[in-house]
Amino acid sequence: MSQKNSAAAKESNKNVKVIDNVSGKESNFPILTGTEGAPVIDIRKLYAETGYFTYDPGFIATGSCESKITYIDGDKGILLHRGYPIEQLAENSDFLEVCYLLLYGELPKQNQKTEFDRAITLHTMLHEQITNFYRGFRRDAHPMAIMCGVVGALSAFYHDSTDIADPHQRMVASYRMVAKMPTIAGWAYKYSLGQPFVYPRNDLEFSENFLHMMFATPCEEYKINPVIAKAMDRILILHADHEQNASTSTVRLAGSSGANPFACISAGIASLWGPAHGGANEAVLNMLNEIGNKDNIADFIKKAKDPNDPFRIMGFGHRVYKNFDPRAKIMRETCHSVLDELDIREEPLLDLAMELERIALEDEYFVSRKLYPNVDFYSGIIFQALGIPTTMFTVLFAVARTVGWIAQWNEMIEDPNQKIGRPRQLYTGSAQRDHVPISERG
Ligand code: SDX
């Protein structure tokens, strides 16, 4: 397939010359520039031209795709969704408006917003048979295990939106995923409590519906606190998308083989679960509870700095941000507003987290490595204040990130350069050798 670049990825008049000092061969590779951020060296012909692969474990310096969805400037602590700063979206949009923006590339006009909100609302119910799927899990199953299983199984229930070559089916699957995640998450929580599932209501906004399915019971009317619903909606906005992070790259790689969208999102949920990624919000709360009080902070900072100790300050550090994660700042403000609304005057975990942040940000080890709080550092404190158990924290992250995953999945499929992802390797195993019969193996 010929190599095409979209109009946006301009071939600059610059290139990079590679001189192989063994063969003396010179090769030139074009530099592509985008709208923002680092230009890239187009190495698609590197192996054919030089016989060399690149080597970049963890993809520290590797661009896996071209994208128009999210841009992060890690040095300046900037996060843009389709060009709009996260601070402005958190202040002025609701979550479904951000979903529309991520999926379609533009902020919706009023009629488009009304139509989109209604379409999502009408997809919030789950096939009734899926309730049986939950009953196969132990009551104490981790909700993320349930999310991986139930979301992966959706292709067995919604087979009419799995043909990825059909843009209409891709759109239906996208709406279904965004709309059903709160229901799947709410039911995972109810199942863990032994309480009956609460069905979505069409008269509630997205985040109100989510809180309702999490906390309502058949015994009395559940009253939505508008401040809490607004805080939940803002938290979902802050987690919606984040460029080519581990779980989004997982979704793209799974999707590159032509796998159905539900299977791809399930793969993304599995990747997000890891404590180095979305599982960090749960790990932060567990860490703060282990630290216990401010007197113990110094010992934990010491452990985090010890190269021989695997312990790290959870919620700190980031592959891209070498400045404050802009989401962490908004999360900290939201934390204060939620605690104020709930009249929680004393939140020892928040005090502990802020003291830990203060000490770390004055410590040369963290300063020299540009380690700052990330989106996960404060979110757990808010979730706990909302009465959400730690095992549900990463589930909430998955509810929000589903729109980012599905937007990136759609973009990958529509990319003219799209092909199955198949990285190469530096092989350091045994050279070819012959089989030895077991009787001769000594
Ligand atoms: C998310 O990619 C995304 O965009 C993710 C995310 C999204 O929205 O999708 O932003 C969400 O996953 C946020 C990150 C949540 N994870 C955590 O909070 C876990 C704690 N953080 C670390 O595990 C770590 O910072 C990572 C995984 C986030 C980033 O790891 P990198 O980029 O591979 O950095 P590194 O491990 O190479 O660290 C560089 C140095 C090392 O020290 P030296 O070997 O140079 O001496 O910094 C140290 C690390 O030991 N370091 C830490 C640390 N994070 C990095 N030391 C102590 N505590 C930490 N948290």
Catalytic residue among 318, 325, 340, 343: 318
Asked if 376 is an active-site residue, the reply is yes
Asked if 306 is an active-site residue, the reply is no
Residue identifier of the C-alpha nearest atom 41 of ligand 1: 369
d(CA 410, CA 104): 10
Q: How far is CA 20 from CA 23, 55, 380, in A?
A: 6, 16, 51
Residues written for the chain? 442
Element (H, E) at 404: helix 393-414
Element (H, E) at 31: strand 26-33
The per-residue pLDDT for 311 is 94
Q: Ligand 1 mean position to 275 CA, how many Å?
A: 10
What one-character-per-residue DSSP string does 163-181 give? -TT-HHHHHHHHHHHHHHH
Give the model confidence (pLDDT) of 171-221 as tens digits.
Answer: 999 999 999 999 999 999 999 999 999 999 999 999 999 999 999 999 999
d(CA 35, CA 85): 15
Determine the angle formed by the axes of helices 393-414 and 376-385, rounding to 10 degrees: 130
The per-residue pLDDT for 8 is 55
The per-residue pLDDT for 315 is 95
Q: Ligand 1 mean position to 321 CA, how many Å?
A: 10
Quote the pTM value: 0.95
Q: Ligand 1 mean position to 372 CA, how many Å?
A: 10
- Tell me which of 237, 374, 378, 401 to substitute to probe ligand 1's pocket, judged by most ligand atoms within 8 Å of the beta carbon: 374
Query: Which residues, including other chains, have CB under 8 Å from residue 245's CB and lie 6 or more apart?
Result: 277
Residue identifier of the C-alpha nearest atom 33 of ligand 1: 319
Longest Cα separation, the chain: 80
The per-residue pLDDT for 300 is 96
Sign of CA dihedral 110, 114, 119, 125: positive
Q: Ligand 1 mean position to 317 CA, how many Å?
A: 4
Exposure class string for 75-91: b at 16+ Cβ within 10 A, else e: eebbbbbbeeebeebbe
The per-residue pLDDT for 1 is 35
Tell me which DSSP letter residue 255 carries.
H
The number of the ligand 1 atom at minimal distance from the alpha carbon of 246 is: 2
What are the mean pLDDT values of the chain's consecutive 10-residue runs (442 residues total)? 52 88 94 95 96 97 97 96 98 98 98 98 97 95 96 95 95 98 98 96 98 97 94 97 98 98 98 95 94 96 96 95 94 90 89 94 96 92 90 96 98 94 97 98 92
- Tell me which of 321, 369, 370, 375 to substitute to probe ligand 1's pocket, judged by most ligand atoms within 8 Å of the beta carbon: 369
